[in-house]
Amino acid sequence: MVGAIGLGIDIGFLALTIAVVLTLAFPASSGGALGDVSWGIVLLLSGVLTYVGVLQRNGTIEWAGASVAAVGAPVVAALLICVIGAVVSAFASTTGLLAALVPMTVPLVASGSISAVGLVAALAISSSLVDVSPFSTGGAIAMANADAAERRTIYRGLLVFAGSVTVAGPLVSWAVLVASGGF
C-alpha cells in the first residue's frame, strides 16, 4: 500500500517485484507457485486489455459514441449507446468505459427528450451486467480460481451468460429507464 498509494509506484510492477523478492527469499516454499498461475488467462486478459487500450487511444470508442449521438432520434441513440457500453465492457473495465461514455450522453440529455438519470442508469446497468464475461477481469478471476478440469465448462457458461446479457441488458434497461420515460 505504501508503494502504490504513498509513492505512486505502478501496482503491477510493484506486485511483480514483491513476487520476485519473495521467490528469491523463500525458494523452497515458492517452487510450485508458478505452476499454479493460470497463464492462459493472464495472456488472454493482457491481450484484450491491450486491444481495448489501442481502441481507446485511437479514439475508436469516442468515435462510435459520437456517431451514435448523431442519430436523429435521441431514444434510439440512447439504446445504441447502451449496446456499445455492454459490448465494449465485456472486454474492458466498466469503470473506465463509463468515464468515457457518460460524457457522450450529454448531447442526448441536452436535447431535453431523455432523462439524464435514466440514461446513465441504463448505461451503467448495461455495462455492469457483462462483467462476468471470460474476457473481463471478473470472469477471468472466476476461471483462474476454478479447477483445471472445470475451466472449459465455466468458460462456456460465462460466455453464454455474458452474450445473453450483452443483448438483453441494454434492451431491458433502456426500455424501463429511458424509453418509458420513467425517470
Q: What's CA 103's distance to the chain center, in Å?
A: 17
Measured between its terminal Cα atoms, the distance across the chain in Å is 41
pLDDT for 27 equals 83
In the predicted model, residues of the chain with pLDDT beneath 50 are none
pLDDT for 165 equals 94
SS3 90: coil
Residue type, 39: W
Is residue 86 within 8 A of residue 130, CB to CB? The reply is yes
CA–CA distance, 181 with 137 (Å, rounded to integer): 33
Nearest to 116 by CA among 105, 125, 126: 105
pLDDT for 158 equals 92
pLDDT for 183 equals 66
CA–CA distance, 89 with 92 (Å, rounded to integer): 5
CA–CA distance, 75 with 80 (Å, rounded to integer): 9
pLDDT for 96 equals 66
Global pTM?
A: 0.68
Tell me the three cell numbers of residue 33: 507457485
pLDDT for 175 equals 94
Residue type, 74: P
